[in-house]
Amino acid sequence: MGAQKYPKISGFELIQQIGGGGFSIVFRAAHIEDHRVAACKLVSLSHETSEKDRKTIEKEIRVHSALKHSNVLEFIDASVVEPQHNHQYVPGIYMLLEFAAGGDLFDKIAPDVGVGDDVAHFYFGQLVDGMSYIHNQGVCHRDLKPENILLDAAGVLKISDFGLSAVFKLKESGKTRSLTERCGSLPYVAPELNTDSPYQAEPIDVWGIGVILFTLLAGNTPWDEPTQHSPEYSRYLSGEIFAEAPWNRLGKVTLSLVCGLLTVDPTKRMTLADVYQHPWCLRPSQLAQQGVQALADKLTESLRMTGDLGYATPAALDNGEMEMDQDGDEIMLSATHQSQFTQSLLLFTQTQSGKRYTPHLTRFYATLAPPLLMSLVKESLEGLGVKCKLSTKDSATEGTSVLRFRVGGYDRRQVLFKGWVEVERFGYKGKDGSFCVMKRDEGNPISWRQLWKALIKSEAVEPHVLRK
């Protein structure tokens, strides 16, 4: 059997895998003639795929495709390749989505530092606008967490991933229903999901928004889970936590909003209508007037302060524009070059074959050749308690041999993370060096950054890392 290939979806060719593992993979896709870029989420299908799983994906498509708002990732189209056609194409459900060229919002946040009041205020406003619209359409998201908050090429916030969403209200009659299904990720779920009783839809998203606001301000989620098992949550209930960092840094007005959103009793929790009236939200945004360059600078300020950004683009590589490689990156650039935002966020990486779009800021350059760096990286990660599994084949991405291995584990909040470490050759001062990127598929972007930082600071790796 020949190698399977991917079909064109609405004229878009799948060009490069940018994320995903397990059940779904996300690709960057390009429409060559129209100079447009999109993302394509592929959920694989086999003869074993159950009817229930199919219905879940169909529901996601139905819900997501009906939502049209500037702060919701746009659903463009979907196609299905049935398993019996696997001789021709990779079987699966292909969802063509707006491409969030700015990557993850939370990938830009320094752990335990946060983004500062102005950036938090700017993005919180967009999150609330998007969620108000979604609720008005009768939909509850149910999986609001940092990894589902993306940015487009101009730095606009986009809510994504409607895989766990539910319709709780009929738009025609306004009739609502309570929900019963238990879902979501422990650090972000509302406490009422810990009981067996049905729950109201809107308050659980409001709670999720509260956790996201706290995370923007503090650079970490507030607790592992909203139960007595979490010491932090218990201290939140008793009020003791307000004397501790980072809570004691928040300021009175900000704290009243965070606690209003994170009110344990869902009937007393703030509504989105209340949020709009809160003094913290009523003030005009300082950033909205300043343009994308200022936004990008403000957003990455904490990464510059901690020195993290100096690893992503070391001074040694500042040798002007390099030629582009030919894999649709010219399109990537022509589609986003009007955006100073992606340029300022350093989302383009210098590799052997020229400059390439890399949405991950968890990357670094080293003075060792790839095989050697690879073994040191693997050894160091295993020393940090991370499970590493070598990939059977070298993926020949963009015509270069890339060494890669799979990593996984649990972060400090007991959230599962999974991703890839990729190492490719990079010539440095006439010698063999390496470019290494850590690509996250699942898990909190902030703890992924902590893992990356622990790796480059590890005894074996640090002496070889280039920095600004």
104 is catalytic: no
- 429 assigned binding-site residue: no
Contact 115, 109 (CB under 8 A): yes
Closest by CA position to 30, among listed 333, 422, 322: 333
Output the pLDDT for position 9: 95
Handedness of CA 210, 212, 217, 222 (dihedral sign): positive
Position 397 pLDDT exceeds 50 = no
Q: Where are the domains of the chain?
A: 13-98, 103-282, 316-464
Q: Which fold has domain 13-98?
A: Phosphorylase Kinase; domain 1 (3.30.200)
Contact 437, 346 (CB under 8 A): no
**SS3 (DSSP) at 369:** coil
Output the pLDDT for position 253: 97
Please give the Cα distance from 184 to 332 (Å, whole number): 33
Position 429 pLDDT exceeds 70 = yes
Output the pLDDT for position 320: 38
Q: What is the DSSP string of 197-208?
A: S-B-HHHHHHHH
Position 446 pLDDT exceeds 60 = yes
Average pLDDT, the chain: 90
Reduced to 3 DSSP states, what percent helix, strand and coil does the chain have, rounded to the nearest 5?
Answer: 35, 25, 40
**pLDDT per position as a tens digit, 62-89:** 999 999 999 999 999 999 999 998 889 9
DSSP 246: T
Domain 103-282 has CATH 2.60.120.380: no
Higher pLDDT, residue 401 or 141: 141
Which CATH number applies to 316-464? 3.30.310.80
Position 315 pLDDT exceeds 80 = no
Please give the Cα distance from 254 to 397 (Å, whole number): 46
Please provide the size of the chain in residues: 468
Place 21 in a pLDDT band, splitting at 50, 70 and 90.
low
Place 359 in a pLDDT band, splitting at 50, 70 and 90.
confident
Higher pLDDT, residue 171 or 398: 171
**pLDDT per position as a tens digit, 333-346:** 565 544 678 888 88
Stretch 296-309: mean pLDDT: 93
**pLDDT per position as a tens digit, 176-225:** 999 999 999 999 999 999 999 999 999 999 999 999 999 999 999 999 99
CB atoms within 10 A of CB 271: 14
Helices (H), 262-328: 272-277, 279-282, 291-299, 301-305, 309-312
Stretch 232-260: mean pLDDT: 97
Find residue 424's DSSP bridge partners: 402, 435
Please give the Cα distance from 447 to 454 (Å, whole number): 10
CB atoms within 10 A of CB 84: 9
Position 4 pLDDT exceeds 70 = yes
Please identify which of the residues 143, 152, 161, 205 carries the catalytic annotation. 143
Output the pLDDT for position 133: 98
**pLDDT per position as a tens digit, 30-42:** 998 888 999 999 9
**SS3 (DSSP) at 3:** coil
Position 249 pLDDT exceeds 50 = yes
Position 248 pLDDT exceeds 50 = yes
Please give the Cα distance from 195 to 264 (Å, whole number): 13
